[in-house]
Structures are given as structure tokens and as C-alpha cells.
């Protein structure tokens, strides 16, 4: 069971990574990479310094930008439902 959960987590990580690259890759000069703790700290600093007026900061690797609305994640509803009903556990 533990191995199955690892496979599911790995699948979703790979899926999210590809989606990020497709959605945002052409908008930035630096190449796409995984997000690190330092990236999250940079975003938190932006919020604490008031650089994100809406309080929303997007972080994808070293790409960081403020936004005034949350992205549409309705396509993730099925995965959320499966996790909540333990069908993927």
C-alpha cells in the first residue's frame, strides 16, 4: 500500500510539473524547475513587505508573481474527491 501511495504522489508531482511548464514556461526568461523552500520564503517575504497588495503570490520554481485572483482549479475536483473518499489510499 505504501508503494502505491508513493506512485500516486509521484504521478501527481510529475503531472503538476508538466502543467506548470506548459502554462507558464513561455512567460519567464529562466527555465522551469521545481519549487524549493527558498522560493516559498521569497514569496512570504513579498507578502510581509506588502509587495502583493491582494495577498496572493504565485510561486513556481524561481518564478514569483503577485496576483489579484486565485487560479481556476476546478479540474482537480475529481482527484480531491478520490482522496477524500479514500479511493486512492
Q: How confident is the prediction for the chain on average, in pLDDT?
A: 84
- Whole-model pTM: value is 0.63
Say if residues 43 and 57 touch (Cβ distance below 8 Å). yes
Q: Answer whether residue 40 shows pLDDT above 90.
A: yes
Residue with the larger pLDDT of the pair 41 and 81: 41
Calpha distance 24→31 (Å, rounded): 10
Amino acid at each position: 500500500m505504501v508503494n502505491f501511495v508513493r506512485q500516486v504522489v509521484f504521478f501527481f508531482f510529475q503531472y503538476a510539473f508538466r502543467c506548470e511548464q506548459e502554462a507558464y514556461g513561455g512567460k519567464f526568461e529562466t527555465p522551469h524547475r521545481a519549487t524549493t523552500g527558498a522560493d516559498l520564503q521569497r514569496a512570504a517575504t513579498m507578502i510581509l513587505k506588502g509587495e502583493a497588495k491582494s495577498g496572493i503570490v504565485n510561486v513556481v520554481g524561481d518564478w514569483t508573481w503577485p496576483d489579484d485572483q486565485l487560479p481556476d482549479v476546478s479540474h482537480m475536483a475529481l482527484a480531491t474527491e478520490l482522496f477524500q473518499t479514500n479511493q486512492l489510499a
